[in-house]
Amino acid sequence: MTPDTLLTVSGFSVTYDVDPPVEAVRDVSLELRRGEILGLAGESGCGKTTLAYGIQRLLKPPAVITGGRTVFHDESGQDVDINALDADALRAFRWDKVSMVFQGAMNALNPVVAIGRQLEDVFTTHRPAMGRAERREECARLLDIVGVGRERLRSYPHELSGGMRQRVMIAMAMALRPQLMIMDEPTTALDVLVQRGILRQISELREELGFSVIFITHDLPLLLEISDRIAVMKDGRIVEIDSAERIYRDPQHEYTRRLLASFPSLTGERGDFVRGAEKEAAR
């Protein structure tokens, strides 16, 4: 571990205790650096979401953490063993240190409450000492930062486009200046143009505020562009973890190569995608 390590996950395993039990995450170890964007790639069912939920103990039964530790190295120098936190400490820890943008998060907003009020909730819960005026100003500022604009504070979710709602969720996740934001397919439901805008914003905010991001998606080309490092998961294990450039130029694992080959290049050669190719068809 180096001083700029933010999170150490070691030997982490999660099992869904159903019949027969499903080992969704198997013996995963990784270190996340401060200010780093780590991409977590893999197909549905590979365990990437379970891992992301697991490290902040967001899983519900039948999921059981069967082994491993997650240690969060706070800015203050204090180490927090997330698995050992009691309920109150865990509640205080979440969102304050680690926040999350969920898959399809724009649909997670309460449809009958103005977004300003929903943002304020974060502060009333986690910063009870904060005065009302300050709270309002903070929410307005957050909406400005993510490009929605403070004039939308009184808007209801249905009055905003999908992209704007997703930005509101990002604003909410940033509210307490967490050191780590976990984003689970944050742009998958959005158009490419909107997606590009949001990705640019995440990168800029990261530069400015210095938080780390774990970015989960199956869209490997996208990850290659925005991540510093990428972990490729398959069947609950990380099969390869390396810098985005190395994953792109010199993938070591056969599965990484296959995943890369699944995306035909936009402007390059056809690669494995040959019209009429038979070899993949049998799958």
Phi and psi at 180, nearest 5°, equal -140, 130
Report H helices in the chain. Answer: 48-55, 87-93, 115-126, 132-145, 162-174, 192-209, 220-226, 244-249, 254-261
How many positions of this chain bind other proteins (CB under 8 A)? 39
Q: Tokens in use for 112? A: 């009958």
Residue 158 interacts with other proteins (CB under 8 A)?
Answer: no
Computed over its alpha carbons, how large is the radius of gyration of the chain? 20
* Residue (87 or 192) nearer to other proteins, CB: 192
State the binding string over 211-250 for other proteins (x if CB under 8 A, else -). Answer: -------xxxxx-xx-------------------x--xx-
Stretch that binds other proteins, among 6-14, 16-24, 78-86, 190-198 (CB under 8 A): 190-198
* Residue (88 or 278) nearer to other proteins, CB: 278
Residue 144 interacts with other proteins (CB under 8 A)?
Answer: no
Please give the Cα distance from 235 to 46 (Å, whole number). 5
CB of 241 to other proteins, least distance (A): 17
Query: CB atoms < 10 A from the CB of 192, how many?
Result: 9
Which residues would be at the binding site for other proteins (CB under 8 A)?
Answer: 43-44, 191-193, 195-196, 218-222, 224-225, 245, 248-249, 258-259, 261-268, 270, 272-278, 280-283
